[in-house]
Amino acid sequence: MQNPVLIFGAGTLGKIALDIFNRNNVLVYGFLDDDKKLHNTELGEIVILGDTDDDGFLKIIGQKTEAFVAISNAKVKKKIVEILTERRKVMPVNAIHDRAIVSETAIIGHGNLVMANAAINPFAKIGNHCIVQSGAVVDTDAKVADYITIASGAMINAGAELAEGAFIGSGSIIVTGIKVGKNARVGAGSVVIEDVPDNATVFGNPAKKV
């Protein structure tokens, strides 16, 4: 990546993204965050410049800088992504830790955050704007749609499919071939052995609807 990157969100994910870009020798231009108390303060010597919809900074994206959206709330993230794609005609870049393992045959979209020691195995498919946290595994031929969070240590086994907006809790296991529905939530430490419907929350071993 030749251009510097502007990070949307100065919270926990923003700090992680900053570390990843620093490790990958990518210059971070600054942060944008809607918490006005943070404006003109610094994170690791990088200034929080203004709001996420500040046209003064948005207008340089796509020309002089790239963008990365480091926000966990899916609704807020979607709003910012829409601004970037519709107003600036650009897609956010990926932030992939140098200690993550990503197969050459895996397919990865745009705007994804892949943390340290995560593994994306051969022929796995990751959509756009997902979060794959530390130590999580997306195994061979698994399919992960857009705006999905896979928390630390979770295992998405071979051929499993996650629909848009799903949340997979820390240390949980999605068994081979299982489908998790749109906006469904899987509690931490759960073992999912049957398909999860859209918008459902499941928990336990074996996971049951709650």
Among 148, 192, 185, residue whose Cα is nearest residue 169: 185
pTM, to two decimals: 0.95
Among 44, 45, 34, 43, residue whose Cα is nearest residue 69: 34
Query: DSSP secondary-structure letter at 85?
Result: I
Q: From residue 186, give the alpha-carbon distance in Å to each of 5, 143, 198.
A: 33, 16, 12
Among 102, 194, 113, 106, residue whose Cα is nearest residue 150: 113
Residue 4 has pLDDT above 90, yes or no: yes
Q: Which domains does the chain have, with CATH numbers?
A: 5-93 (3.40.50.20), 94-203 (2.160.10.10)
Q: Is the peptide bond before 122 cis (omega within 30 degrees of 0)?
A: no
Look at residue 1 in the predicted model and tell me its pLDDT: 65
Instruction: Tell me the C-alpha distance between 99 and 60, whole Å.
Output: 31
Give the gyration radius of the chain's Cα atoms: 17
pLDDT in tens, 36-72: 999 999 998 999 999 999 988 888 898 889 999 999 9
pLDDT in tens, 89-133: 999 999 999 999 999 999 999 999 999 999 999 999 999 999 999
